[in-house]
Structure 1
Amino acid sequence: MSHELVIRSDNAQVAIAILKDKLLTELHREKTERGFAVGDVYLARVRKVAPGLNAAFVDVGHEKDAFLHYFDLGPQYRNSYKYTKGAVNGSVKDSLLEDWTLETDIDKGGKIADVVSASQNVLVQIAKEPISTKGPRLTAEVTLPGRYMVLVPFTNKVSISSRIKDEEERDRLKRLMRSIKPSNFGLIIRTNAEHKQVAELDADLKALLGRWDTCYRNLRNARAPKRVLGEIDRTSAVLRDVLNKDFSTIHVDDDQLAEEVREFLEKHAPDKKDIVKVFKGKGGIFDAFGINKQIKQAFGRQVSLPSGASLVIEKTEAMHVVDVNSGSRKGGQKDQEQNALEINIETAQEIARLLRLRDMGGIIAVDFIDLYSAENRRALHKAFK
C-alpha cells in the first residue's frame, strides 16, 4: 500500500491530505492566522461553575466562553492547579517536578463544584476548536506530544502503544524510558518509537521537557487569560503524528513550504528528507491528485459505494445518523443474506474512513441492512472493530 502526503498552500490556509493507494483517508486544514488551535495551552480564568452540567465555563480570551467538563479535568487536577498557582506567584521555582509531592487523584465520579470555583486560574489545553456559536472545548489534563512519545506531567506511569506487539520491544522501551525520564513525569510511548535508539528517544524527551519549561516561564507573573504555549503548526503536527516508514512521497505546491517540510524532516526523520517533491503541474495540486473530487463525494449528504449501495448521512443536534441504502436485490434468501453482509462490511469500512475524514464525533447511529444469521452479525461486528 502506497502512502502519500499532499499539501496545498494559499494565502488563507494550508490543507493537508493523506492518501493510501490514492484513496483520501484524512484531511487537515490550518488557517494561516491561527487562533485557539487544538493543543494550545492557556492560563484561563473560571467564569462560572455549572453544577447541573458538572462543568465550568472558562475565559480563555475567546468571544465565547470555553467549556470544561469534570471528566476533562484529569485525575491529577489537584497537582495541576497547585503547580499553576505556584508558577504564577513565584513559589514554584522551576519546571522540573523532582521534589514535587503528588496530590491524590480527584474522584472519578465527583462533582466539579468540589474542586473548581469561580475566579480561579486554571491551566487548560484546547481539545476542540471553537465552531459556530460555541467556544472552545477544554481539557485540564495538559499533555505535550512529540514524535516518539507524549509527555504527561504529574504522574509516573509509562504506557506503550498497543500497536507495538513485540513483548521484548515493549519491555525494552518501558525499561529504557523509566530509566531516563525525570520523576513525576509520565510518558505515552508512540508507535514510531519502536526499535528507536536511546539517543533519538532521549532527544525527543528533552525537547518535550523544554516545551514544558517554556510553558512554566510564560506562567510566571501571568494574568489570565493568556496563551502560555502554542501547538506547533498543523503541517508539522501532522508530519509528527502520521509520518512513518510507509510514506513514499510528500507533494507540496509551494517552494517555501516545501523547504520548511524538508527542514522538519532533516531534524526529525532525516532518512525521509528526500521524499519531498514540489508540484509544478498545471491546475491545482488537489485536482491533479483527484482529491477535490473525493472531498466532494465524501462530504456530501449521500456517499456512493463501489458496490452500488450508498450511505445517507444526517447530522442532528444530538448525533449523526447513517442510513445504508442497498438498492434492488435479486436472488434467493441465501443470496440476499450474503449480499447484505458484503454491503454491510463495505459500509463499515467506509464509515471508519469517513469518521476520520469528516471529523465526526459524539453519538453515531448506523442503520445497517438486516442480517438474520448470528454468524454474519458477528462477522460484521468483527469487521467494524
Structure 2
Amino acid sequence: MPSLLFRRWRRADEGRTWCRRVCWLDLTIGDLLGREILVSATQQESWVALLEDKKLVELMFDRPDQGRLIGDIFLGRIDAVLPGIQAAFVDLGTGKAGFLHVGDLNPSDIDGDIDDNGNGSGEGGRGRRRQRKLPPIQDHLKKGQEVLVQVTKEAIGTKGPRLTAEISLPGRFLVYMPHASRVGVSRKIDGRDQRSKLRKMAQGVLPPDSGGMIVRTVSEEVTKKTLEKEFRRLHERWQKIRRTADSMKAPASVHGEAKLISGVIRDLFSDKFEALRIDSKAVYNEVRDYVQSVDPDLLDRVHLHQGAVPLFDKYGVGEEIQKAFQRTVRLKSGGHIVIEPTEALVSIDVNTGKFTGKGK
C-alpha cells in the first residue's frame, strides 16, 4: 500500500479542489501565513502534518514495511514488448512487472525536442514535451534486454508500477536529469526576469554534455555557488548509480528515493514556514544537520517537541484525522459531502443541507 496524503477541504477562492486520498506527495501550497510542519516519528511509522493558521491542511503517512517504490531506480529486464500498445513490461524483481511506454524512453534514444522551458511539471524531473513522432518501441527494446528505469507511479491493485527511462534525481534546489539536454525553471517562480536569471545561472553551472536540470521553486534567492555544490552532489550520485548498475544483474534495485520525512524537508521546508516541530530526538538531529548544510538561516525554525502531551494532540491533529475519514464531511456553509469508495471509483455526493444561498 503506497504512502498516503490527506488533503483537507479548501475554499474555492484558494484555487484548490478537494482530495481525500492520493499517492505520495503532490503539493502546491498558497502563500498563506501561520504555516507550520509537524513531524511525529517512531521506528514503526512516520507522520507529517502541515498546518495553516493552526488548522490541519495536509497529512502524510509512511511505514517502512509499505514497500513504497516511487522515485526508486531499478535495473530491470524486459519481460515483453507489445507493439500494439507501444509499451513494454519490465521485470523489477518486486513481484509485479512495471509498465514502460515508448514515450518514456530516454530522449537520447528518440528523435524529437523537449520543451526549452522545462517547466511543464513544475517541480518534477520531466517537463512537458512538444508533440513528436515516436518510432516503434520494438526498434529500441527487445525481450531479455536490461534497462535502467525509475518508478513514477506506484502499483495499484493488479497493475504494476509505471516506469520511465528518463531518470531524474531531485535535490533541494534543482532536479538533475542525466539523459536530458535542456535547462528549465519551475513555473511557480514568478517574474520573467527572475526566471531568466536563474536559467542563465543554471546553464553556467551545467557542463557540456552532462545532462539537464530544472531549477526548483525554493531556489528563488539561491546563489550560483549553491547550485554548483548541489549539481556536483547530484552528478556524483548519478555516477555512483551507473557504477552500481554496471556491477549488478537484472532485475535489481539500484537506488532508493528519499523517504517521507527527508523528502518533505527537502521539497517543502523554506522561509515560507514559521516552524518545523519534531517529536523524535534522532529525527530532530538529522533534520538540523541537513538544514545546517543547505540553509542555515532556517535553523532557528526547527524545534524539538518535548512534554507530556504528544505533539499531534497538542495541535489537535488527531481529532482532525478522525473527522476527515468520516463518511460525511460537514461544511461551514451548512452543507455536507458524502464520500463512498467503491472498487471502480469514489463517488462524491454534495448536499446543500441547511445552506440556502446568500441573500441579496
Scaled by the length of structure 1, the TM-score of the pair is 0.73
- Aligned Cα root-mean-square deviation (Å): 2.6
Q: What is aligned with 1:16?
A: 48
Q: What amino acid does structure 2 have at the position aligned with 1:129?
A: E
Say whether the 8 Å CA contact 2:205–2:227 is kept in structure 1. no
Cα offset, 1:130, TM superposition: 3.5
State yes or no: 1:49 paired with 2:81.
yes
Mark the CA change 1:207 to 1:120 in structure 2 (over 3 Å): closer, same or farther: same
Percent of paired sites with the same residue: 37
Deviates more, 1:149-158 or 1:185-194: 149-158
> Which is higher, the Rg of structure 1 or of structure 2?
1
Per-residue CA distance 1:244-296 (angstroms, 9 max, x = gap):
11112111111111111111111111111222222223343222221122222
Counterpart Cα distance in 1 of 2:206 and 2:280 = 39
CA shift at 1:319, angstroms? 4.1
Over 6 Å off, 4+ runs: none
Q: Does the C-alpha gap of structure 1 residues 154 and 137 become closer, same or farther in structure 2, counting only changes over 3 Å?
A: closer
Q: Distance in 2 between matches of 1:110 and 1:316?
A: 39
What is the aligned partner in structure 2 of residue 3 from structure 1? 35
Structure 2 partner of 1:59: 91
Q: Per the alignment, do residues 264 and 33 of structure 1 end up closer, same or farther by CA in structure 2, a change over 3 Å counting?
A: farther
- Amino acid corresponding to residue 140 of structure 2 in structure 1: V
Deviations 1:128-177 (A, max 9, x none): 23455443332222111111111112232111111222222212111111
Q: CA deviation at 1:51?
A: 4.0
In the TM superposition, what are the counterparts of 1:196-215 in structure 2 within 5 Å? 196-215=222-241
Q: Which of 273, 279, 293 is the matching residue for 1:267?
A: 293
What does 1:97-176 align with in structure 2 at a 5 Å threshold? Answer: 108=133, 111-176=136-201
Secondary structure at 2:75 match in 1 = strand
- Distance in 2, matches of 1:141 and 1:49, equals 18
Q: 1:212 corresponds to which letter in structure 2?
A: W
* 1:77 and 1:140 in contact (8 A); partners too: no
Matches within 5 A, 1:185-204: 185-204=211-230
Q: Structure 2 vs 1, CA of residues 22 and 134 (structure 1 numbering), >3 Å: closer, same or farther?
A: farther
Q: How far apart, CA to CA, are the structure 2 residues paired with 1:11 and 1:280?
A: 18
SS in 2 for 1:247: coil
**141-150 or 154-163: bigger deviation:** 154-163
Matched, 1:290 2:316: yes
1:318 to 1:67, Cα distance in 2 relative to 1, 3 A: farther
Deviates more, 1:143-152 or 1:70-79: 70-79
SS in 1 for 2:274: strand
Report what 1:326 is aligned to. Answer: 352
Q: Match for 1:186: what amino acid?
A: G
Structure 1 pair 152/263, CA: closer, same or farther in 2 (3 Å)? same
Contact 2:152 2:164 in 1 (8 A): yes
Q: Which residue of 2 aligns with 1:239?
A: 265
- 1:250 aligned counterpart, secondary structure: strand
Q: Cα distance 1:25–1:76, how it changes in 2: closer, same or farther (>3 A)?
A: farther
**Residues 160 and 189 in structure 1, CA contact (< 8 A), matched pair in contact too:** yes
Code of the residue aligned with 1:169 in structure 2: it is Q
Structure 2 counterpart SS, 1:244: coil
Inter-partner Cα distance in structure 2 for 1:114 and 1:320: 40
Kept after mapping to 1: 8 A contact 2:171/2:266: yes
How many residues are treated as equivalent by the alignment?
Answer: 309
1:370 paired residue number: none
Structure 1, unmatched stretches of 5+, are 80-104, 339-385
Aligned counterpart, 2:338: 312
Contact 1:313 1:323 in 2 (8 A): yes
- Segment drifting more, 105-114 vs 196-205: 105-114
SS at match of 1:124: strand
Q: Answer whether contact 1:154 1:186 (CA < 8 A) is retained.
A: yes
Partner amino acid for 2:95?
A: E
Q: Deviations over 1:93-127 (max 9, x none)?
A: xxxxxxxxxxxx99555554443332111111122
Give, in angstroms, the shift of residue 307 of structure 1.
1.3
Structure 2 residue matching 1:170: 3-state secondary structure: helix
State the 1:191 CA deviation: 1.1
CA distance in structure 2 between the aligned counterparts of 1:108 and 1:308, rounded to whole angstroms: 52
